[in-house]
Amino acid sequence: MAQTQGEAGAKPEGERKRANPVLFTKQVVAELRKVRWPTRRELITYTIVVLVFVLVMIGLVVGLDFVFGEAVLRLYGGGTTS
């Protein structure tokens, strides 16, 4: 009887490959060697760009929080308690 396409590549339960940590580590190291690592100048530039962006986003969130907080206080009259 002819095998179907799905059966041809299937392996019996006992023949499955086991994970090999040594092979995995060698493959990871080989891939990391292919990576183009940034220079010190690029790293400093990217770090500054990220920090400035984060500070701008913090300012935006704080500003919106203040605006919405004031709007809620004015809308529901939570000003003075006496």
Quick: pLDDT tens for 3-46: 555 556 565 665 667 789 999 999 999 999 999 999 999 999 99
Cβ 72 vs Cβ 78: under 8 Å: yes
How far apart are alpha carbons 16 and 6 in whole angstroms?
A: 16
Of the candidates 81, 52, 55, 75, which has an alpha carbon nearest to the alpha carbon of residue 67?
Answer: 75
Q: How far is CA 46 from the centre of its chain?
A: 17
pTM of the model: 0.55
- CA angle 29–31–35, rounded 5-degree value: 110
Which residue is it, tokens 């709007």?
A: 71
